[in-house]
Structure 1
Amino acid sequence: MNPVFRVRRIALLGPAVLLAVAVAFLAQRPLHRRAGWEPWFGTINGVVFWAVAALPLSAVLVWALARRRRGAGAWRRSFAEVAMVHGTVPWVWMIMLPGPGAGVASRRVSLLPLRDLCAILAEGPPVTATVQIVGNLLVFAALGCFAPVRFRALASVPRILMLGAACSVLVETAQYVLWLDRVSSVDDVLLNATGAGLAALASRRRWCR
């Protein structure tokens, strides 16, 4: 490997590791204030903590897959597989967390496009609206970014948009069927699919090769 590239990788890896440690530390602090395992697996802080804590395991898995395959492109394929799973599961986990009225409150469905999005922008605080919109864009961003790198059949923005929309419909349907006290909204599907498409555009140089 070129020494210049090696130095650049080390220079980028150091701050990334420090950032991951800081996020894990901040996420786990509130978890100790409540007894039991529920805070660790049933809260957003718990999901963030486990997502960061699993990074070394994901790195080992990439290495193991690449070593097993060896051939040309083994590292690229292995990294894409692990990254799209690791980058998607925590987000899906978060949006599948039950609300306070799970199993009790009436199921809610919103099928009118852009109604919920306009309501959030008009009525909600700017910070809350931004967090909700950006969060929905990121749910399937890792899938949209790495799926076309790994699977040649998905190397197309329209196909990634369809994949993101299909996955989002499954999640919204699961929220309704499992009675999680969440709104199954078509706007979430639109944002999830858009996030996947934008991520595919961001990685286009990789999968166009």
Structure 2
Amino acid sequence: MDQTVSAVRRARRVALLVPALLGAAAVAFLAQRPLGDHAGWNGWVGTVNGIVFLAAAALPVAVLAVWALARRRRAAGVAAGWARRSALAEVGMVHGTVPWVWMILLPGVDPGGPRRRVNLVPLHDIAEIVGAGPPTTAVAQIVGNMLVFAAFGFLAPLRFAALASVWRVLALGAAGSVLVETAQYVLRLDRVSSVDDVLLNAVGAALAALASRRWWRRRAS
């Protein structure tokens, strides 16, 4: 009976993994097409499309890392279920956050120049985005900002009992966003360091924590 249940679980994992890998391959293919054959190194690491391609292409490596980390922990005596979940949470937080932060730290038109743009008025930039461009562009920018720390917000409470709180995730998301916005300012990346970005990043992390609440609450119980 136990072997049958284990086989069913393995089949379910494979059934979920195969579409995910195929989807990653499709995203990588679509992302690399605008780069062309002569984009150079900067085209791969210095553009949004390049980062999307690298993140999608790295998904099989992330899956392999989860498997290796879980296997190592099982060999060290950790329960199989927790070994898998903790490995998935750790690798997922890194793989789901680093590409977004990388995009945020891409330089603007005049990196290293004298301009250092800061906005400390809450909701000012959001109102400009909504009023200036088409709705699809505004939605894309707002949702994109909310996804920066979403992977962290979703998975951190599952991995760390001390973070099993929406308010703590919100605070950590805000702190991480402040660090990124400060880096934009200090490094003179010709980007706007905005309080609205901090608000959206933090809210996105908190909403992601709410989305996984049923699982980390169950674990806490």
Per the alignment, residue 141 of structure 2 pairs with 132
Which one is further off, 67-76 or 129-138? 67-76
d(CA) in 1 for partners of 2:146 and 2:17? 26
Partner of 2:166: 157
Q: Give the Cα separation in 2 of the matches to 1:61 and 1:81.
A: 10
Whether 2:20 is the aligned partner of 1:16: answer yes
Give the structure 2 partner of residue 57 of structure 1.
61
- Residue identity over aligned pairs, in percent, reads 68
Deviations 1:44-94 (A, max 9, x none): 011001101111111111111111111221111111000001000000000
Q: CA deviation at 1:7?
A: 4.1
Q: Tell me, what secondary structure is at the counterpart of 1:101?
A: coil
Aligned: 1:89 with 2:101? no
2:177 is matched with which residue? Answer: 168
Letter in 1 for 2:206: G
Following superposition, the deviation at residue 178 of structure 1 comes to: 0.5
**Matched-pair contact (CA < 8 Å) for 2:21–2:59:** no
Gap regions ≥5 residues in structure 1: none
Residue 72 (structure 2) aligns with: 68
* TM-score relative to the length of structure 2: 0.90
1:121 and 2:125 correspond: no
Deviation string, structure 1 residues 116-171 (Cα, Å, up to 9, x no partner): 10111111221110110000000000010111111111110000000000000000
SS of match in other structure, 2:193:
strand
The residue number in structure 1 matching 2:200 is 191
How many pairs align? 209
Alignment partners' CA distance in 2, 1:61 and 1:166: 28
Query: Unpaired segments of 5 or more residues in structure 2?
Result: none
AA of the residue aligned to 2:146 = L
Q: Distance in 2 between the 1:25 and 1:110 partners?
A: 37
Q: TM-score, normalised by structure 1?
A: 0.95
